[in-house]
Amino acid sequence: MPARFDLSLYLVTDPAMTARRGLVETVAAAVDGGVTLVQLRHKDGPFRLMVETGRALMVRLAPHGIPLIVNDRLDVVHAIGAAGVHVGQDDLPPAAVRALLGPRAIIGLSITREEELGTFDPATVDYVGLGPIFSTGTKADAAVALGPAVFASIRSQLRCPVVAIGGITGANAAQAIAAGADGIAVVSAICGAADPRAAAHALRAAVDSCRKAGIS
């Protein structure tokens, strides 16, 4: 059984956007604002830098009980003892990842369209990152935005927790939750914000408000 995790406000880091302030400092501020899960993403990052950054993040996250997920890099997961890994459709299949990391690891998988629903065994993943739900400029190779209606249709076919990602802001977070998302994942909305703590607080408030109002 994997460690407990909360998808409410999932922060995916971006080293370029956080360079001036510092990635670890940005994450720490965002956690103070209400982030519930953190993913260290730096696909081409040097192994040593990734390990040093990952360990520093785990020190900051541990008092809050927030797990650290690493994007794709199983070598980094093993080196720092991270809680889990997030993989895409072109990465190692979830079943192979599960075999390598064992039953306690948190394994997430990206899905960008309905056709990808049959590419994996749902029993091998703990959550799905579905999107982009809205247009996003964070990833140059991002898929076409699904929109809330298509997102809701795909989400209804998934029997695991789902986090919405892609172009999410405080203004449209409610639409993601209303479409069935268990939480929202953001990059630029926090990493690129002038005040990461305030940005995280506003996003978390939007999610919590939707749930209180029964919007889901």
Catalytic residues: 41, 110, 139
Alpha helices in the chain (DSSP H): 23-33, 47-61, 74-80, 94-101, 147-155, 173-178, 188-191, 196-212
CB crowding 99-136: b at 16 or more within 10 Å, else e = eebeeebbbbbbbbeeebeeebeeebbbbbbbbbbbeb
Q: Give yes or no for a cis peptide into 122 (omega within 30° of 0).
A: no
**What is the C-alpha separation between 139 and 159, in angstroms, rounded?**
27
- Of 83, 129, 124, 87, nearest in space to 106 by CA: 83
17 touches 120 (CB < 8 A): no
